[in-house]
Structure 1
Amino acid sequence: MDGETAIRKAYESILKHDFEQAVAWFEQAITLDPGKAAYHYKLSITYARSNKLEKAIEHAQQAVDLDGRDEHYAFHLQHLQAKRLLFTAEKLFDEPEERLWLAVELLKEAVELDPLSVEGFLLLGMAYHRLGEYAQALRSIKELLKLDPQHTIGRRLSADYEQKWKQYMKNATLRGMLAERNENSHE
């Protein structure tokens, strides 16, 4: 048996919704032809669909290492790395505020790796909002809405964050005016 035969059997298994068998066939193809980047890429996709993210990243990296010129392999790897950052950041949402800043940094990196990540912009907006950074929260949600203008949660959060931003700016203006008046009265 050669690698291409194993790949065909993997796809037959996928059509039968037998993803574990598909993984076994993809691994067999890799054993038969370990230098074939496409085999690692295909196995990575199957692992990703089976929510085995670390294994998916491992094989996506191998595909890139074997054929770094293929943009599909590089984009797939970046997408998976961004997904891992999202999962890690989301776990920090229940932590104290200083850990939420770490989540923001991870989410910023995630959307840089995958600028089409609706979930990344949503989580980034929510993290900024929880930190009281309304301008950044609104900016993140607006990026989400550029990608998916009909995103129900994004539309609701956009209206909510816009209102909070306006209230924040109004309060800041009032504080500034009061501070200026207090300075003038002391002169």
Structure 2
Amino acid sequence: MDGENAIKKAYESILQHDFERAIAWFERAIALDPHCAAYHYKLSITFARSNKLDKAIGHAAQAVRLEPEDEHYSFHLQHLQARKLILHAERLFEEQDERLWLAVALLQQAVELDPLAIEAFLLLGIAYYRLEEYSSAVKAVKELLKLDPQHAIGKRLLKDYDLKWKQYMNKG
């Protein structure tokens, strides 16, 4: 069996919603042709869909190493790295508010890696609001709404945060 046949088997497994079997077939394709960036990329996508983010990032990075000029591979890697930063930041929300500044730093990194990361802008807005940085909270939610003008939570938060910002400014 060659790599392409293993890839076909992987896609058949995906169509049957057997992602573990698909992963095994993608890994077989890579074993047959370890220098094929596309195989690493495809496995990375399947790992990401299976919430195995570290493995997904590893294979995405390998695809980029093998074909650094391929923008799809680079964007995919950046998207996964941003997702990991967002997940880390989310965990910080459950801790003391002093940790929110670290969450803000992680979320800023995430939006630099993936400027389309709606969830990062949402969390950034919430973090800034909790830190009483109302102007920054409004700005983050406005960025979210540029990406998704119909985002219901974003629209509600913008209204609330804008009101809080105005109240804050009138106190001074």
Which TM-score applies when normalising by structure 1? 0.91
* Residue in structure 2 matched with residue 67 of structure 1 by the alignment: 67
In the other structure, the counterpart of 1:38 is 38
User: Structure 2 CA distance, aligned partners of 1:9 and 1:89?
Assistant: 37
* Counterpart code for 1:111: V
For residues 4-15 of structure 1, what are the structure 2 equivalents within 5 Å? 4-15=4-15
Cα distance in 1, alignment partners of residues 151 and 110 from structure 2: 20
Task: Give 1:171 deviation, angstroms.
Answer: 0.4
User: Does 1:162 find its partner at 2:158?
Assistant: no
Query: Could you say which residue in structure 2 is the equivalent of 1:143?
Result: 143
1:86 equivalent to 2:86? Answer yes
User: Which is higher, the Rg of structure 1 or of structure 2?
Assistant: 1
- Moved segments of 4+, more than 2 Å: none
Deviations along 1:101-159, whole A, 9 cap, x unmatched?
00000000001100001100000000000000000000000000000000000000000
Offset at 1:82? 0.2
Q: Name the residue aligned to 2:113.
A: 113
2:48 aligned partner: 48
Q: Which runs of 5+ in 1 are unaligned?
A: 173-187
Partner of 1:171: 171
2-structure distance, mates of 1:30, 1:69: 20
Partner residue in 1 for 2:125:
125
In 1, distance between residues paired with 2:96 and 2:4?
51
1:99 lines up with 2:102 in the alignment:
no
Structure 1 CA distance for aligned equivalents of residues 85 and 163 of structure 2:
30
Structure 2, unaligned stretches of length 5 or more?
none
Q: Which residue of 2 aligns with 1:178?
A: none
Give the TM-score, by structure 2 length.
0.99
Q: Identity, % of aligned pairs?
A: 70
How many angstroms does 1:33 deviate by? 0.2
CA distance in 1, matches of 2:94, 2:63: 36
Could you tell me which amino acid in structure 2 is paired with residue 150 of structure 1?
Q
Aligned: 1:26 with 2:26:
yes
Supply the distance in 2 between the matched residues of 1:49 and 1:19 (Cα, whole angstroms): 9
Q: Deviations over 1:147-187 (max 9, x none)?
A: 00000000000000000000000001xxxxxxxxxxxxxxx
